[in-house]
Structure 1
Amino acid sequence: MEGNKRTALFLLGALAAITAGVFCCARTSLAETSSHIIINEIQTDGVDDKNEFIELFNPTDKSIDLGGFKLSKKTKTGSESLLLSSVKFLGTIHAHGYFLIAHPTYKDALSADLAYSGSSYYISNDNTVLLYDKDETLLDKVGFGAAFDFENTPAPNPNSKQSIERNNFADTDNNAADFFPNTSPSPRNSSVVEEYEEELENSGDVPQDEPEKCVTSSKDIRLNEIFPYPQSGNEFVEIANIGETCVDVSGWKIMDEANHKIVFPENSAITPGGYLFLEGNLYFNNDSDTVYLLNADGNTKNEALNNQFYEKAQKDFSFSFDAGTWNWTSMLTPGDDNVIEIPKDSSDDIKTSENYSSAEKVYLNEILPNPKDGSDGEYLEIVNDEGEPVDLYKWTIRDASKTGKYVFEDHTIVEPGKYFVVYRPQFKIALNNGAESVYLYNPTGALVSSASYDKAPQGVSYNFDGQNWKWSKYLTPKKENKFDSPPVVKIKKVKNSYKNLFTEFSVSAKDKETKKLKYTWDFGDGRKSYLAKTSHKYLATGKYRVTLTVRDDSQFVEKRFLVKVKKYPRPDLEILKLLPNPAGKDSEGELVDIRNNSKKKIDLEGWKIATGSASSKIYNHPISEELILNPGETKTVTREFSKFSLNNKAGKVQLVFPDGKIADDVEYEKEKIADDEAYIKLNDEWIWLMPNAPKDGAETATDETDDTTDEEETGEEGEVLGVLDENAPVARYKPGFSPEDAYIFLSQINFMKPAKETNYTPMSNPSSSIAYLLSLLI
């Protein structure tokens, strides 16, 4: 046997908080051994006095096992006490990821990964928070206020409903320099991982061959050994790679019948012919249970790639797969080839007879768990896909319960390609309308077919199409299965998604046989929506797996995709000009000029013009239409794009990012603002400028302005609204092209030499503007 042994991959690392005490194991360690975890954010007083949290961050490139770590605090007198003991400190903090620890009563949009060891434990101002690894080595400490212990200088105390947070993960061993008060705490748990753009450096080294790339999806991974009843120590489950390609099973899951999920950690790869096993408390029952293997996208029993039922587990025996069948064995072989040693006291239970048929191509084909005419109408259908007749004598059907079992005690022959149906009065198994599993075993005890569902619609059967199980409103006992058409689903691609901003999600779906479809969006952060077109706000950056489920009367279609949530960018935009008192109606002439100083094209739709006064409340007015600003371009925003109103004596104007941050702001005040007098930014200074008087015979508009909100007006037919040329007149706003306008324009494009002093007095004769421009260039 030594010659046949394969070297198994050995991975150490605790899993997520739900996998308390579970380890992924084989022969050599690949896990991160150095622990550079830092305390990243602390809140001592939230919505209530116990809504406190401590956020950890892992700045390294590998996930770190937190098993055996310890979190404690020191009071301002130096007394140290536990917050989270090493016994209860379990889980994994991902590379560039977060881990959230909080008081047991803590509530927020993102739940805590772990709670303090006791409800009487708490932190307060003037404390120190200390983090130790499993070897009692102090990894990090943060003292704040009048703390007894700190790094160099203590950080400030966080105010009520605020936190202290590291400045871009800085760790200079100076708490005061590393932390800043955060007025909008943003606790993040282990579901959030920061994304970085890696920079490639030319080191001059000789390029090395890349290691073999592993696929992340494969049908060649199966359950191989289950150890559910240890006399002492841990349970384990082993999977095997029977294919010819390396498979990365990071994020794959092991699940029991009660839906406990255990997740394989990062860097869990299995080479062809290799094994990988999880060890710990896997929640397996000692009497009977079903074990499911799901890939990273799978969440339900119906999505399992492989499953195995066991019963009559004995202490220190594993249920192992060998030569096409499952058997109990006293030889435990995690990470190695299975060895079947049949226990003497159970040999009678597994005796086989040459008269029994153990055909492999006999399987469950249709299940009706919730008939409209009562439970007696429940049925199970078996199909013989072998090339010869099959006798079902001593075959067994079981459900997920401990007692649901039906054994074929008579010789029942099923001809090739034919179906056999057994009804509820015969098999005596009550099929659940909720979550249920059905298993078919041959006389040797080997599982040959199974099906699992979460919820059974009434009058709809569960059918096998040769690869997958599907619901169908067509009932076909003893006939070939018939399926109704699934919905045709098309999702509108998500362009951008930003933290604290609503992301739009939209789907169009059609179904040939069902008019009314049902939609379920799972946004990957614990929130859902049931509308075809909806929006969702993510509270933290990171990658989120979004799942859309579209259902008709019997079938459903699931679509999954990743959404990358980023911080909203901060392009350099500034306000250059205000016209608070135009000639004529304010609603037709008020404007704000905005310049794009960045190197990227910016769409101002969703931005806001906020107006008011320095002493009063500021009101946001969204820009409601597309308004593109190219790099270096200046455009005018009018009331047609944003329903703002500028005060005629004193006011405050802000340009606001979509996420509420201020890009630029301007305050102005003047006792009497003349008609068409503009407030303009020139050489980083704001000045008031008067336009030229209108030409002889030009229409004179009547000033109808006041200090109150202006009446909403619409532009004339055919007019281009909102985007104005610098020289194009606005309706009822017709100043001449003045020297001041020329000076501003030439200054903006750096086309003129500096002048020590310039007379800005308006010229009475507009025709002399050309001579004025020439004098500036000489």
Structure 2
Amino acid sequence: MRGSMNSRSILLFYTIIGSCFFIGHTARAAADHLVISQVQVGSYGNASDEFVEIYNPTEDDIVIDSWSLQYKSSATSTSISKKNLPSAKICKGSYFLIAHSGYDGEAVADHTQSSVSFSSNGGLVFLADGDEFLNSADSPKIIDKFIYEEVAKATAGEADKAFFRTGYSGDSFADFVFQDASPRNSSTTPCFGILPDETDEDGSSASTTPEYLTKSSNVKIYRFLPNPAGTDGGNEWVELINNDSEPILLDGWLLDDDDKGAGEPSSDAFTLSGVIQPGEIIRFLIPSTAFALNNSNGDEVNLYFGDGTLADAAPYTVAAYDDGIFEFRDGMWQPPTLPSSGGGGSLGSSSSSTSNNQATAQLAITITEFLPDPIGDDEGKIWVELYNPASSKASLSGWILDNRGTSTLPSSSAFVLDSSYSVPAKGYLVVTIPPGKFTFSGASSTIRLFKPDKSLAQSVNFFDAPEGKSYGVDEAGNWAYDFPTPGFANVFGVPLANVEVSEILPYPVAGDDEFVELYNASGTPLNLRGFRLRVGTREKVLNDALLDGNGYYVISEEDLPINLRNSGQEVVLLDNLGRELDRVVYPRSPQGQAYALSEGAFLWTSQATPGESNVMVLGAAVKAANNPSAVKPVSKPASQSGQVNYQKLYDEVVKTNQELLQRLDNLENALALLAENSVGPANAQAVDLIESNQSESPKNGSKIIYLAVAAAAAIAFVLLVWQFFRGKSV
């Protein structure tokens, strides 16, 4: 049986070892985050037949934006593979299917990738809220994880097997079973148009099946790939676009290459399923068991409605070279023109004129803004903003970005965009250049945009890039440096508002509410209309609200984009132009404590002060401890009538001892703080307290422990002497 579980000990081994790297991330309750619900690691004869199924068990729709799927072959491995996921909404109770390009299951993948491949010897799979490589066991970016052991190979004829989630304890061995695969995608539980539950008079639930259009002539063939590099079978694909204003149910629709007449698609036609939203482009991977497109003598792609009538056709007569993507251009379906004359057959003109608005969208893509010199390390932080002026969504599969080259072709460090990148109609797409790809250096440089056929689409030269400033173009075509506005129209000459996040309460005690507090550090009142608060990946636009100069504004729990995580999260404030004003990442939160800004740094305080100046309860204690009354050394005893004033000596020693005990109490508080907060700003508070008590101690910095022992010995000695002289006087 393919993929049968080997020994329990192997999986337990991965579980224990994994806790040392990344698995230290505590699993949260299933009700508040997305989960990995099913994983398939290859099938008989096809090691790339893989998928990861994501499920939303919460009561809210969740938008993933700049998320990633990451994989390690073992907990001790230093190599991590990563695939950035497209922006998508996963509705409550719905699924999102991420499949490898070699996947041949019946459910259509919501996203296809080839960057992450699983080993049959075991590994660790992570769903991360972020598109950077994971590098910390305490990273709040880890949303869910899955660990699996060695997967045995199946024999011919057996059904595909997958790991299937049955629980939410956080233990992969307890939560997953190995059974027949049953991948589910976003159309399994569609969320568009779902109606609230209705109850009949007899108390029974009425049907709430959403209504979709099942037939629309506005669903068209967008692009297709007849001749993928390498093996064609199972790797050819066809993209459809929905130009309708309504979502269309594709269940029962067909794709074929041989039209036998209306209502008569051939027996090897491929049956579609799922829902295509307005303006959406969906790529369907044609399995090896279905039809195959010709490479040399021409062929046609036919799209049929569910009733078998022809919906659209894309005939072609030109040769299909390796990885040549066909689109409608100059009145015919053809791939891009090769730079050289070789290649066998006429491939058509490369003219930019077109009779198809999708092709226009492709050819009109432009660079409008980019960040050449991010603050700090540039690796993985450089981004490029692309704009699509057309009225339909444009796929950027095969487009290329690079910095410069010694020839007219892209350089070896260029970044090639895959099918997950697309630009909305009349909208922007921000592309982050991943680590290992190009960066900029020197006083001058160039950024270039290439079309899929490697012909140059745009080139922008720039000089002396200031750190943290983007280079953007205005409506007149003039380029200039200014504050970054990624994903929004460029703005020049408008200063940033001096507003910052000043206090966050993520984990209130019973009866209190979460909040995020903003502070206007300028003396000028400011309207917050259009400002946006981002918590994790969720955003909310603020309404009309006047923030007084040097005043506070509290965003209460009911107005937050999403509940604050107790385990730590990122909070970002953007102005009404989309520019970042402040970014705060808070660590795991103690209950009842607020993360508050104090003298330029965030610290935990046990006194939340929404709408008022921050009060650092711990900070006040530290300040008092760091500035105690000077402790005078014990002076030489005075003489009265030739006798030693032992009473005065005793009083001074007791006073000194009390001050030393107070210092020891402060040090105990500091040590307890260190124990409760192994990382974070609280350490700095504790260290300041310890160093202060050391530097302020009597005898010019003598060790406190020695003073305590000396004080105790002195008290004992004085008591004995006092008793002795009292006895002599009697």
TM tier relative to shorter chain: under 0.3
- Structure with bigger helix share is 2
Q: Computing the radius of gyration over CA atoms, which structure comes out larger, 1 or 2?
A: 1
Calculate the TM-score normalised by the size of structure 2: 0.26
Calculate the TM-score normalised by the size of structure 1: 0.25
